Amino acid sequence: MKRGDKVYEGKAKIVYATNDEQYRILYFKDDATAFDGKKKGTIVEKGILNNRISTTLFNLLAENGIPTHLVKVLSEREALVKNVSIIPVEVVARNIIAGSLAKRMGRPEGENLAFPIVEYYYKDDSLHDPMINRDHVLAFSLATAAQIDHIKEMALKINGILRQYFLDRGILLVDFKLEFGVFNGEVLLADEICPDTCRLWDAESLEKMDKDRFRRDLGKVEEAYLEVCRRVCAADGV
């Protein structure tokens, strides 16, 4: 598959066209941002690690019946994906109280939720991705009722699969963000799943192993990403 012109550049990835309109190439960058881009930096080899972690998890989910946009890995920083039409709703699944949920509810980080929570956010950087509910999704035609209900069902299934997968590797899946898109009428899991988009804590020490180390100036950011990759992709020879 031949890489064409740049279609879009985001905070963590560049999307390139290919010689087939059905497909795109994702290029994973080392750039790191936080707080709506107010904090910027570089995490050395983050793109390489995130590509490996994300494609490993997407393949795991595909094996468990979750349709995804991933076609194949092209290089250490590139993946070939289906050219989905992104649904402008970010989906967050939460298992443990942390981050914005702790602030909104006035609860301490680390408290287990009685059951997983699914939240929706309108995907718009200029508005700072405001939190919305199912009624907003329908009223503003961001997705159909069938799509958003299917997305919630998929998010909970993905959470169950990944939560156990991480736990088996000594990691707590605290919360994580998902994006979905439509390809030939089918809703697919898109974007990426990695320490940029997940909160991951060591199951024993509760040490943070994700982008919160960058956000909160905790240090050892590269080491945390590398350790997640080592555990998640162990069967892949890391």
- In tens, the pLDDT along 59-81 reads 999 999 999 999 999 999 999 99
Dihedrals phi, psi of 171, to nearest 5 degrees: -125, 135
pLDDT above 60 (res 237):
no
Residue of 87, 79, 92, 102 lying closest to 14 (CA atoms): 79
- In the numeric block, which tokens belong to residue 201? 């804590």
| Residues 40-74 as b or e (16 or more Cβ within 10 Å = b) | eeebebbbbbbbbbbbbbbebbeeeebebbbeebb
| Mean pLDDT computed over 196-206 | 98
- Domain 85-220: CATH superfamily is ATP-grasp fold, B domain (3.30.470.20)
The pLDDT value recorded for residue 14 is 97
pTM confidence score: 0.94
- In the numeric block, which tokens belong to residue 57? 């998890």
- Domain 3-82: CATH superfamily is Phosphorylase Kinase; domain 1 (3.30.200.20)
The pLDDT value recorded for residue 238 is 41
Domain ranges of the chain: 3-82, 85-220
- 3-82 and 85-220 agree in CATH topology: no
